[in-house]
A and B are shown apart, each in its own frame.
Chain A
Amino acid sequence: MRDVAVIGVGMQKWGELWAKSTRDIFVESALLAMDDAGVDTLGAMYVGSMAPGLFADQEHLGSVMADYLGQKLIPSTRVESACASGGLAFRLACMDVASGMHDVVLAGGVEKMTDIGGGDATHALASAADMKWEAVHGVTFPGLYAMMAVAHMAKYGTTREQLAHVAVKNHYNGSMNSRAQFPMKITVEGVINSVKVADPLNILDCSPITDGAAAAIVVPADMVKDFKKAGVKVIGTGHATDTIALHDREDLTTLAAVSASAEQAYKMSGKGPRDLDFVEVHDCFTIAEIIVSESLGLFERGKGGPAAEAGDTGLEGRTPINPSGGLKSKGHPVGATGVAQIVEITEQLRGEAGKRQIKNARVALAQNMGGSGGSSVVHILEVM
């Protein structure tokens, strides 16, 4: 298999983009990535999108997006793994290039979530859980993660304040990201006193409903010298699944698919948790960032909460988590999130991240989750 690298990335500002359609949003970010790389034709493309049928009444996005991106007759594949659709699209683009099938492949992700009402959006998101045996009882996505939080608090003593610190840190980072949907700074008290969603999670523990897209261009590593900008090498990839229903997992305080996908990527790259200069992880809810940080091996089981509270995960901390602002501040257009993590890592490793730049960052990891941990995709990237 060939080594592969990212040679271009693109992402427009995220938010409630009522004037723009799903295809507009996608094509704008895809063109930014293609311009960044300096290419105008693609060998193939992969489009991560969780539920365009439910959110925007349109399926068959492989065709829609290749058509509107002006790429005639190329193989274009829509990829779905709930909120990990974007990460999985990136993985498939890497595998495509690594196999030798194509040389210039676009990995994109998109979701247009605000055309429908909040209740309908909650329903669409619930379809990433077990509709027949979980959602039928009225449990929502915040509800599933709230139940993980209750279990984690009972087992390890994780506190309500520690959860809040994750949100405060991510909004602080997001305040320096011009593309974030909610770049405002918040406080621990503000999180704790915000509207209750599913106990113990409040609205400021939850990632928002967002319209947005992101894109990356993947090429063989030995072709990077032919392009104008620096490439970032993809040195590890992993993907794992777990039970669709949260209740079928023996341990509700860890995420086995996250650990399994990370192990694959660690093994392939020869890197471990201590080699990472920063990580972008799937903080769909504050408790998710804490559990993921433990499941990736960044902290011991039960130490993710204290680490967040102590500032170990801040921009200047031991292992910075979500310098981009994470899903929490940047927004969470579900199909685009995994690709946006690659955008952030590429910009950080190229030294293009501005005020939130992590000094001397050379190796970073992205973790993108589907549902309540029914799937997870991990990538490790390194400066070339």
Chain B
Amino acid sequence: MSETLLKIENLYAGVGNKEILKGLNLTINKGEVHALMGLNGAGKSSLSFVLSGKQGYEVTSGSITFKGKDLLSLSTEERAQAGLFLSMQTPTEIPGVVFSNFLKQSLNSIRKAKGENELDTINFIKALRLEANKLGISTDMLKRFVNVGFSGGEKKRFETLQIALLKPDFCILDEIDSGLDIDALKTVAESINTLKNPNNAFLIITHYQRLLSYIIPDVVHIFADGRIIKTGDKSLALELEKKGYTEFLNHKEP
């Protein structure tokens, strides 16, 4: 059996007074791709914020272990430095911060934390151009402010570019397919497929089967009522697309 990368046990968490995760269990091993599907407002994005330690998302009980360490004791930046990456459903716009400068600082912060040497500007730009090219991102776009004025699809390409450059061990892709045109969806999926290796893992949050036909999941989960109510293989996503959620919600597993 392969090694466990992430283990969530009996997790209860909420935001404000609202309880969103209610006894969630999820184990992801190295080398695996998991898909997480569920109704709007079910709490999928909230789970991703709990995992990345966003302020305001309070864990009331349960545990999260990442690479054998207690993830909940780490700050947001320490989690990122430990190899966790969240591609956000709505990436934040940051006027005044040039994308390539931001990415250089991000990459070097992570390299530094890992004890690797920081890249100088020339080597960084080389690496950046190479990956940007593959994703069809022009050099001019790299000079723009982070996500400002980017189209929905462009934002997602930039999130993918960050993954390609930072090479995290665990990636949460929160609706990376939303806003992408069919060609871009393919490019992004290809990029992720090439990044897949026996040491990393992906949690793909999506509403659509289409993405999963490009990035084939090993495991598919249905998320409802604050926890995972059904787990299966890739055929579960197909079944869900055919039948809709009602069927599954009515036949909850104990």
A, B assembled together: no
Q: Which residues of A contact B (CB under 8 A)?
A: none
